[in-house]
Structure 1
Amino acid sequence: MLTFAEKLAIIESFPQLQRKDVSLGRVNFHFEESVYDRKVVVQHLHPNGNGFVYAGHLSPSMTDKKGMVNIREYSEEELRTVVEDSIAYLSHFEEAEEMVDEFADLEGVWIGPEKQELTLAQEDLLWNIYAGVNLEECFESPIEAERYLLEEGFHKKKG
């Protein structure tokens, strides 16, 4: 396991990131040029070696509900890769456009735990969730939309 100082040195080697000290000796790193609302790439890097990196580019099964991965046990190569990928993901809407085809099967009706129905629709670069004709939620990424639906107990309607 890398030490706090080693992780800090690796993350600080990315000039695109801005360090923000937070409580309890923890450190966040922001990517101010993000084309999305999300700016935090590294969250709560702690002196004990624990910390999180935003990984919206990964499937929801590989991240927590906020799209973060725990980097406690990451090697130098793994840490560099996940930070690079996070910055790349947050840098380009074009990547979101490429994902549209890959995630087209997410569109349609989703059924909730109490048989309620929500509709996920890709519109331009946004992924919108509707309850009937009312807009319920709006996401910039199909991964975020899917994560939301799964967290709320919904599953894709078959057929």
Structure 2
Amino acid sequence: MKPDFETLAEQHSHEIYVYLWRMLGDTQDAEDCLQDTFLRAYKAYKRLDEKANTRAWLYKIATNVARTHLKKRSRTTSRTSDLDPQLLGQNPNLDINLDTAQQLEEVSAAVQLLPEKQQAALMMRKYQELSYPEIATALKTSEESARANVYQALKKLRKQFAAQVQVTP
């Protein structure tokens, strides 16, 4: 039996927000897309199969909303320098080492350059800890393709950062 929609929203809104923030790199965009995600989910919830994986279903909706938003957003829009909301936890006054913040920004920028499916699969797996079947459902692909997308994303990031380490004195 699927939970009522309010319970579902309460259970998953924070993790979906963090996922959207990582996809979009902007607090306001993430909040807007979160609202759009749950609005679309609410409208479709009655048609959702009782046995469906609601978490993966929400990620699928969030991914589609984020993709649509990214297509609309100008390529020249600069990212904000907001801190990762998961790092802040409950304490927004957390003192973060500048080097660590810079490294996080570099990794985030590199992830933003990945192809959409690789980016989404990587974030779902490494940041949101979704299983490969959940990722496959969210991205409307096979489990093997979900694994391949994560693998290729990690391979590209390793290659990029290995090149930076060799160039940096």
More helix by share: 2
More strand by share: 1
TM-score, normalising length: structure 2: 0.25
TM-score, normalising length: structure 1: 0.26
Q: Which has the higher contact order (CA 8 A, sep 6+)?
A: 2
